[in-house]
């Protein structure tokens, strides 16, 4: 039903993108500003960080898409527009610069910013680079995905094709996120485009419903960023009958959206600052979905568990410890734990107690790049999944002098 395709955010009909180096970053080899444009006005939806300290672009974006529509996304990296006295002015100016070069109403622009917090953001390089940025608009999802990165080591993008109402539809996304990753109702920076025809209310419903089980289940370091935002533009050019209520078409769209967001979640977790391994925690047999989520997120966030995964140490006691302090309603005497990867699966705990297992085989399993921690609570039929990464020496090195 869902086919992975090339094109990222430019896969859907009517979308173009670009990313260039305009001078925010000192390193001229790194792109630092991205632009995404729909050839027609699109339905827009977004979710934002719940951190009380918020970047000014989030405030401006929220105002701009209050009517449920937008046509463009502008995002800079290298310097976050956060905790600046003139932050709103700068964010609005970025929207106006897009308007000046494209003719798009400044109120139809989503604006975002990422990088060091608390440093003044100079509008001059953005202003000087805008003409080049707009002139280069095209099938350049890769340029845009590169331009929004900070400490990320890899670009994160995906696109999917599917069918609704007999029409071929496409949805694509790009993301950035490597450190300060512990979302709450949003995540890092994620930009999604689709040519599906859908109402503003249903698009917001789809996005808000999806992130509860995707982006909000990712954690790299336990810090919720000030600039987190997920936004979606849907321009309707696929020509399907407009999705204005729940039903089969909405369910298909939700599954397509989830295919994109889960891929981006895993990409973000795998590219955590200093990370060498992506960790997926699957919790089954919980009394409730809330219980399963609480357990999965607690294990993924455990610094001791993350450190054990870095060292390929099958220290399952750290997993039980994280479950025990999570606050979830569980019976510790029923818990089973196993570690799994491409190298195999090994049971390490049954009914809350250790079992005999081969340390040699366990180490081989935990030396893989992608590891699954499988938890069976044996207390119900609800499940949840969370994603994270190992905790390494390099995480401290990266963040010890991040600003300087």
Residues tagged active-site = 187
* CA pair distance 294, 298, nearest whole angstrom: 6
**CA distances from residue 23 to 1, 20, 27, 177, 242 in whole angstroms, order as listed:** 43, 9, 8, 21, 42
- The residues, ordered by sequence, that sit 6+ positions from 324 with a Cβ below 8 Å of its Cβ are 332
Would you state the structure tokens that stand for residue 245, as one six-digit string?
């209520």
Scanning 215-344, the segments in alpha helix (DSSP H) are 248-270, 289-301, 303-310, 316-324
Q: Where are the beta strands (DSSP E) in 107-176?
A: 109-113, 156-164, 167-176
> At which residue do the structure tokens 């979606």 appear?
232
User: Rounded to 5 degrees, what are φ and ψ at 103?
Assistant: 85, 0
Q: Is 201 helix (H, G, I), strand (E, B) or coil?
A: helix
Would you state the structure tokens that stand for residue 328, as one six-digit string?
């979830």
- 336-341, strands of its sheet edge to edge: 353-354, 344-350, 336-341, 370-376, 278-286, 382-389
The DSSP string of 361-403 is HHHHHHTSSEEEEEEE--S-SEEEEEEEE---HHHHHHHHTS-
């Amino acid at each position: 039903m869902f086919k992975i395709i090339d094109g990222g955010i430019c896969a859907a009909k009517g979308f173009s993108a670009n990313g260039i180096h305009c001078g925010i970053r000192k390193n001229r080899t790194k792109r630092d500003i991205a632009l995404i444009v729909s050839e027609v006005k699109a339905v827009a939806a977004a979710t934002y960080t719940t951190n009380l300290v918020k970047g000014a672009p989030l405030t401006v974006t929220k105002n701009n898409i209050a009517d449920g529509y937008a046509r463009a996304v502008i995002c800079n990296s290298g310097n976050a527009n956060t905790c600046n006295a003139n932050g709103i002015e700068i964010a609005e100016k970025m929207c106006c610069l897009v308007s000046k070069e494209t003719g798009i109403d400044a109120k139809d622009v989503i604006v975002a910013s990422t990088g060091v917090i608390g440093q003044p953001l100079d509008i001059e390089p953005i202003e000087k680079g805008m003409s080049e940025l707009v002139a280069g608009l095209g099938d350049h999802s890769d340029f845009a995905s590169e331009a929004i990165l900070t400490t990320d080591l890899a670009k994160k993008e995906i696109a999917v094709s599917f069918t609704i109402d007999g029409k071929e539809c496409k949805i694509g996304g790009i993301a950035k996120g490597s450190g300060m990753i512990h979302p709450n109702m949003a995540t890092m920076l994620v930009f999604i485009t689709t040519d599906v025809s859908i109402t503003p209310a249903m698009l917001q419903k789809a996005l808000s419903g999806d992130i509860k089980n995707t982006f909000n289940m990712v954690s790299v370091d336990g810090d919720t960023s000030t600039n987190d935002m997920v936004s979606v533009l849907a321009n309707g050019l696929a020509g399907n009958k407009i999705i204005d209520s729940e039903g089969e078409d909405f369910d298909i769209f939700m599954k397509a959206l989830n295919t994109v967001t889960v891929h981006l979640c895993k990409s973000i977790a795998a590219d955590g600052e200093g990370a060498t391994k992506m960790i997926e925690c699957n919790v089954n047999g919980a009394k409730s979905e809330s219980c399963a989520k609480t357990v999965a997120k607690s294990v993924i966030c455990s610094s001791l568990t993350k450190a054990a995964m870095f060292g390929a140490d099958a220290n399952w006691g750290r997993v039980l410890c994280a479950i025990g302090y999570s606050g979830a309603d569980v019976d510790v005497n029923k818990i089973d734990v196993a570690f799994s990867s491409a190298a195999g699966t090994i049971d390490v705990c049954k009914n809350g107690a250790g079992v005999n297992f081969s340390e040699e085989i366990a180490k081989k399993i935990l030396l893989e790049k992608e590891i699954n921690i499988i938890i069976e609570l044996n207390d119900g039929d609800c499940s949840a999944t969370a994603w994270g990464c190992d905790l390494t020496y390099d995480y401290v090195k990266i963040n010890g002098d991040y600003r300087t």
